[in-house]
Structure 1
Amino acid sequence: MVKLNRATVLEPSNPNKSTALFNGDASGILHWDNVAYPHFYELRKTIRALFWTANEVNMVADTKQFAQLSEKERTAFLKIIGLLATLDAPQTDIASKIAAFSTDPSVKSILATIADQESEHNHSYTYVLASVTNYDNQIASFNEGRTDKVLLERNERIAAIYNEFAADPTIQTALKAMVYSSLLEGLFFYSGFAFFYNLARNQKMVGTSTMISYINRDELHHGRFISELFRATLTENPEYNNDEFIEWVYNQFRHSVEQETRWSRYVLDGIDGINLDDMEGYVKYRANKMLRMLGLSEIYEGYEKNPMKWIKAYADNFNGTKSDFFEQKSRQYTKTSDLNGFDDL
């Protein structure tokens, strides 16, 4: 195992352009016209252009509507917010931990922005719950990740992988953490996102769903950067690009799809407007997309297209102007490439 050394902050005797993503030499001085991976600059510009804060979203209508939801919808709402908070909270930390060991200052810069955005995601869940329900329900929702048996089992492996990297930082544990960060950003949220988008298409909880669309957009771009970092790290460390490790990645995707499907059937059963078989197909479709982004082959035959087309109406098209739901304001966002089907959720 190649142990990772914590990167120095400033070492003027080293070159400005890092000699490696991890365990390389670099001065710590960031000159964007002199970096090892120039395309990271375009990714950085896109991610920086995503800035928003939870307080921008008007929750007045949601405050009135929450009590009018069905009991199943309110229960699902609180459980899913609990899930999202459980997943987003460690993302700030894992981005910072990976950055601490990267010797490439461009990676540190991008991960710092990602960490900040993940922090705002977590804040947004507090903001949503404070807007629609009482303090006791807020506490219960945020405790779901510690107490709900299905949710605990669902998140068991990601916790183990993240904690393994924190305790024993190596090239291999860093690669594994990147795989799970990619899964988290590109797969684990999506049954929850679908729930809120389904409410929105029935003109319920539009403020919450607007906020979720912002988070969704961020996560897609975070996932893209992590997948690029994963591929570059494998290229620099080809000894890990072997059949054993790649099969491990495929097994994690299979396990994650099983857990996400089980969770969706647990939390979305009985929710009007969501077909659970379509939801399972959507999860497999998302898994195929994430595998392609990581440079790997699809493993779910017949799930090359999104079986839940209606979701596209509630998420960014990544192609210029974004119109938010219904009465929400329009915003201009930086144009991004359509690589990897970013215009098709």
Structure 2
Amino acid sequence: MSYTYYEAINWNNVEDMIDKSTWEKLTEQFWLDTRIPLSNDLDDWRKMNDAEKRNIGLVFGGLTLLDTIQSESAIEAIRPDCRTQHEEAVLNNIQFMESVHAKSYSSIFSTLNTKAEIDEIFEWTNTNEYLQKKAETINEIYRTGTALQKKVASVFAETFLFYSGFYAPLYYLGNNKLANVAEIIKLIIRDESVHGTYIGYKFQLGFNELEEAEQNEMRDWMYDLLYDLYANEELYTELLYDDLGWTEDVKTFLRYNANKALMNLGMDPLFPDTANDVNPIVMNGISTGTSNHDFFSQVGNGYLLGAVEAMRDDDYLIGLDS
């Protein structure tokens, strides 16, 4: 008599091909912060004024907090509702890369900042009311939300909440400054693009199984959550960018990415802002391609890992009814 106590994962029999294509995309994109020559940006850093340096430190502190939540809480919250074994494997990959992202900011800090400055950044990060509010809002959903609500929280974090922090390095990249720091951000954006579309796709599978009344309830909850997060994000953006005079441009960027998050979830955009409204210097930098160079010699500031294409918004939104 034979029986199955535990089922071995079989990659030769994949139930959902999106799991396989996502695994392949993520492994093709693999990178580590230790391969980016951050010290090459020190000349640019020394020429920046105090307000610019302070802004960079604070935005990266905030990004570290968000990636810590995503690595420690998000995947653990989503994992119990996996549809396939292959989905769980993909989530394992995502969780590891979120830890890589969180660590990469510390590599930036150790290159650009003194120990005292780093301690000050983390003290600010761990006590700032706006950062802590979005951390609490997202993490409480991971703790107590439904399976679909947890996926919404993750997509909102990946595709919306990170972008107040991403704006500054992308802006500097467009002005030929901090190219290697910005390269790390571009690599993170490339990963987050896959994470957001993949988890959004899994959300849509579950959403389409709901009754109409349940769909309407979920949709209302989702938009209410986004309104609350955006209101907090406006205050956070004012705190970060008022001194530089960039606040309104950053808010436009946030609204554009909030729409992208909704689209990942198969929903209609909320705000009128489009790519044409975003500062073109930043849109140039947001391209998910990286500089092409020799991985082993560390020449340049990207990875040569075969032909890795940039992620498109519609890569996984196939065969789904919004």
1:334 aligned to 2:305?
Answer: no
Cα 1:338–1:218 shift into 2, 3 Å: closer
| Structure with the largest fraction of helix | 2
Give 1:153's aligned residue: 133
Specify the code of the residue in structure 1 equivalent to 2:128.
Answer: D
% identical aligned pairs: 21
Q: Within 2, Cα distance between the matches of 1:232 and 1:338? A: 19
Q: Within 2, Cα distance between the matches of 1:249 and 1:180? A: 9
User: 1:236 offset after TM fit, Å?
Assistant: 4.4
**Which residues in structure 2 correspond to 1:232-311 (within 5 Å)?**
232-236=205-209, 238=211, 241-271=214-244, 274=246, 276-303=247-274, 305-311=276-282
Give 1:136's aligned residue: 116
Q: Secondary structure at the match of 2:244?
A: coil
Q: Within 1, Cα distance between the matches of 2:7 and 2:83? A: 8
Give 1:323's aligned residue: 291
User: 1:65 offset after TM fit, Å?
Assistant: 3.6
Give 2:21's aligned residue: 42
Cα 1:289–1:305 shift into 2, 3 Å: farther
Specify the code of the residue in structure 1 equivalent to 2:236.
Answer: W
Q: Deviations over 1:274-331 (max 9, x none)?
A: 3x3232222112111211221111222354745223223223345xxx4369953563
**Could you list the runs of 5+ residues in structure 2 that have no partner in the other structure?**
294-298, 317-322
**Which residues in structure 2 correspond to 1:173-212 (within 5 Å)?**
174-212=147-185
Cα 1:162–1:142 shift into 2, 3 Å: farther
User: 1:79 offset after TM fit, Å?
Assistant: 0.9
Give 1:3's aligned residue: none
Conserved 8 A contact 1:144-1:151: no
Q: Secondary structure at the match of 1:340?
A: coil
Under a length normalisation based on structure 1, what TM-score does the superposition of the two structures give? 0.80
Give 1:7's aligned residue: none
Cα 1:99–1:12 shift into 2, 3 Å: farther
Give 1:5's aligned residue: none
1:83 aligned to 2:62?
Answer: yes
Under a length normalisation based on structure 2, what TM-score does the superposition of the two structures give? 0.85
Q: Within 1, Cα distance between the matches of 2:273 and 2:45? A: 38
**Could you list the runs of 5+ residues in structure 1 that have no partner in the other structure?**
1-10, 15-26, 166-171
Cα RMSD, aligned residues only: 2.8
Q: Within 2, Cα distance between the matches of 1:63 and 1:194? A: 20
Q: Within 2, Cα distance between the matches of 1:294 and 1:102? A: 17
User: 1:49 offset after TM fit, Å?
Assistant: 1.1
Q: Within 1, Cα distance between the matches of 2:276 and 2:152? A: 23
Structure number with the bigger relative contact order (C-alpha 8 A, sep ≥ 6) is 2
Q: Within 2, Cα distance between the matches of 1:178 and 1:240? A: 19
User: 1:252 offset after TM fit, Å?
Assistant: 1.0
Conserved 8 A contact 1:32-1:38: no
